[in-house]
Structure 1
Amino acid sequence: MYKKLLSTSIINAATAGLNFFASFITVKLMSLKIFGEFAIFNSILAFGGLLYAIIPTNYSIFKLQDDNRYKSKLLSFFILSSIAFSIFVFITNITGIVNIDFFTVYFFGISTFFLGYFDIKFQALGKLKQYFIMLFITAILKIIFLVLFYYFKQLNNLTNLLWTVTVSQIMIIIFYLLDDKEDVKFIIKDFKLFKETFLFIRINFSSFTPYYLNTCLKRLRENLIVLLFGKFMSNETIGLFSVFVKISSFVFGLSRTMEAFFMNRENIGKYKETFYQKIIYFAILLQFIFLLVGIGYFKIFINKFFFVEILILSFLVYPHMFFLVARSEMLSKYSNKEVNISEGTNMLIVLIGVLLCYIFKITSIYGMLFTYGFATLGLQLYLITSLKSMKKGNIDI
């Protein structure tokens, strides 16, 4: 187990470092304001990504483990979702929700969300190393295109920034789809598979519905704080908050290998207890990385330390480790109720935090940080305590 986790964790850490560097380049070559605009844009676009969750991701991960023939159906679904995504982009354009041209938004969106197909495929097949290598190459390409666009004086606004990401992601998608060329040919030759996919969704819709609430809540949870605070805080403050989130995402992302590892039933059964025995060591290491990276990143990024703020946020790594395994274990049994309530708990705390900041006219970064910290803690602790309660009561989850 540890050998698998170590190899993938090294690649994942390198990828997170490259993404960190890409964010640094973005702010230095452009501005913190555009970085904030990019965060708000992604928060809006994330709701269009719900089209790719009509067949839920967590369902697909375990379904593909149960039936390898499901892969062609899954690929056809992602193609259909990419077609349907054009409707979402059209609506955001004509309503003025997004003031960026149609093709920029559309290609950025499908190149971002189509990567989810490979996420599902590699997790289900237990090929975590290949998946994280793919993300590593994507991160390198993003940096290359950021530099190229800047060199040719084409890095002046949010639209330019979106295309640097889009081009790199499309290249990766085309390259990795070569491994599935037989499935692609089969889909192209026999359009009946699209009809079969529609029928599959209709027949299994009752099985999907428990996942929909979770997917919507998770998407809201990931973007709600930026969208709501963005209504009365400056883009610079949103951009600064996005840097804090980048640090948290970087450190929590290092544990992504563990989460992905336990999204496999066999691994849960064989290695869960062993992992729990060593979990405190993983947490201590993550906190040390959180402090080191956070303080250093801010010093390089905007020439400030934010030591106290980083220290407080770093303690979230301890419940986070237990949260990862608890969530994976519940999802492996197709159980979503407690996961949904945990997401709802997070959102409720965010709403309370936003309301208090608005009423008392708190427009500094600290209002966002306290809201983010308590909301994340609420999400983690609810699911951890729920799993423990279920086990004590001998409830089959």
Structure 2
Amino acid sequence: MALLKKFASVSLLNGLLSGCNLGCTVLLVRWFGTAAYADYTMDLATVSLVTILLEVVPSSYLVFRVQDDPELVHGAAGLACLSALLIAILLFALDLFGSYHAFSPWIAGYGALQAVKRYLDIRLQSSGRLAQFFQIETAAAGLRLGLMGGLLWAGYASPTALWGSLSLSVLLAQSFWFARNRSELKPFLLVLRSSTWHPLLRDRAAYTPYYLGIGVKRVRDNLMPLLAGSFFPTKEAAGAFFLAYRGISFTCGQIRVVEGLLNHRKTLGAALSLPLVNSVIVALCCQLLCIAASVALCLVSGSEELYLETVIVLSLMVWPYVFSVLLRAQAYSKYHLASINASLVAYIAISLAAATSLRSLGVTSGSAFAFVLLLCELGSLGTIYYLERSRNEVPEALG
């Protein structure tokens, strides 16, 4: 019962967060246009690739080590401070090489704040306060709605208004949380002591097995907007696709809440023991949610055209995604990292091959790119299914 209440609380906050983010997307497109949205999306992918440096000490390792050794929280705080500084410098430096579509100095500030966000994620997960993390994220999304409008009203250009509102909202939300939880500032007071860093250096040999999966997953997660930048002939076409894609990202965001719960072995066992029909029902409901979200977003954002064919193809991605969640959770629980990494590599290989082939043939429609992403999800699912089946590890929930 306690687990159900915790799931309901986190799900409610995640739904509110997703709604705020969708609202930001609608206003962004209405106020700044699809070209500005395309620039922002592709630059956000660049930032995300840079922030992979935050994983020098893997989050999935640190979140459990902090529970075993509470003193390690000081090292996590020190790592957040050092990472914030290095990431800000690197993001500034990338502008010298023309790495951005529409640069703003606020990009560096946002990147630095991601180091603090990662620390809060680890700190609150390890102490059983995940709901508080979603509260911070929801507050930031709500603040951004107002800040983005305020900066637009003040006459700031789109890069400044978009990245400034994003950075300031995250900074304010995090500051409010620390102001209400002043005892949480204590770990940061010891970051200059050598004893703070010794545990992190001592455990460095344990990090290596995580690095391959972290790197491949980060590339996989950011490949779509980066590929879209070279696939579509215009920024407007890319922006229209990104808008339609928000429906699938919204739906997958809700599924990821369930994926987090499946890290609990008892919950995972119960989910995997369910018959296949349950998974089919979940996937069907998620597909309908995806279509509804995409159509609604396109309509309320004032998009000139509704690319229904693209939306339907994108919604089909939910089916392999739902089944992949179950297989990934089981593989992680059995430490089958090879199966997970192979599925990520398959996704990347298929996406590069399919997108390049269609582009060379002159096929650059939104529905064609959506079909590429669908093939990637199917290939990723097929890879992990095959590898787990070879170990006789495919559960009843997957047939």
Structure 1 residues 207 and 132, CA gap change in structure 2 (3 angstroms) = same
Structure 1 residue aligned with 2:177: 176
Structure 2 residue aligned with 1:313: 314
Q: Are the counterparts in 2 of residues 123 and 263 from structure 1 also a CA contact under 8 Å?
A: no
Moved more, 169-178 or 74-83: 169-178
Tell me the secondary structure at the aligned position of residue 282 of structure 2: helix
Of the three residues 139, 143, 149, the one matched with 1:147 is 149
Structure 1 residue aligned with 2:205: 206
Structure 2 residue aligned with 1:368: 369
Structure 1 residue aligned with 2:254: 254
Moved more, 44-53 or 370-379: 370-379
Structure 1 residue aligned with 2:220: 221
- Following the alignment from structure 1 to structure 2, what is the Cα–Cα distance between the partners of residues 15 and 2? 20
- Following the alignment from structure 2 to structure 1, what is the Cα–Cα distance between the partners of residues 323 and 163? 35
Q: Are the counterparts in 1 of residues 72 and 196 from structure 2 also a CA contact under 8 Å?
A: no
Q: Are the counterparts in 2 of residues 232 and 363 from structure 1 also a CA contact under 8 Å?
A: yes
Q: Are the counterparts in 2 of residues 343 and 379 from structure 1 also a CA contact under 8 Å?
A: yes
Tell me the secondary structure at the aligned position of residue 324 of structure 1: helix
Stretches of structure 1 lacking an aligned partner (at least 5 in a row): none
Q: State TM-score, norm by structure 1.
A: 0.88
| AA aligned opposite 1:81 | S
Structure 1 residue aligned with 2:284: 284
Answer yes or no: is 1:51 the counterpart of 2:46: no
**1:2 Cα deviation (Å)?**
4.2
- Following the alignment from structure 2 to structure 1, what is the Cα–Cα distance between the partners of residues 378 and 5? 30
Q: Are the counterparts in 1 of residues 248 and 290 from structure 2 also a CA contact under 8 Å?
A: yes
Q: CA RMSD in A?
A: 2.8
Stretches of structure 2 lacking an aligned partner (at least 5 in a row): none
| AA aligned opposite 1:379 | S
Of the three residues 60, 66, 71, the one matched with 1:69 is 71
- Following the alignment from structure 1 to structure 2, what is the Cα–Cα distance between the partners of residues 337 and 211? 11
Structure 1 residues 379 and 65, CA gap change in structure 2 (3 angstroms) = farther
Structure 1 residue aligned with 2:349: 348
| AA aligned opposite 2:248 | S
| AA aligned opposite 1:345 | A
- Following the alignment from structure 1 to structure 2, what is the Cα–Cα distance between the partners of residues 149 and 294? 27
Q: Are the counterparts in 2 of residues 126 and 264 from structure 1 also a CA contact under 8 Å?
A: no
- Following the alignment from structure 2 to structure 1, what is the Cα–Cα distance between the partners of residues 66 and 275? 25
| AA aligned opposite 1:106 | A
Q: Are the counterparts in 2 of residues 296 and 305 from structure 1 also a CA contact under 8 Å?
A: no
Higher-RCO chain (CA-CA 8 Å, sequence separation at least 6): 1
Give deviations 1:188-227, integer Å, cap 9, x for gaps: 246115x643x44443333212221111111111222322
- Following the alignment from structure 2 to structure 1, what is the Cα–Cα distance between the partners of residues 17 and 285? 18
Q: Are the counterparts in 2 of residues 93 and 100 from structure 1 also a CA contact under 8 Å?
A: no
Structure 1 residue aligned with 2:140: 138
Q: State TM-score, norm by structure 2.
A: 0.87
- Following the alignment from structure 1 to structure 2, what is the Cα–Cα distance between the partners of residues 45 and 390? 38
* % same residue: 21
Structure 1 residue aligned with 2:189: 188
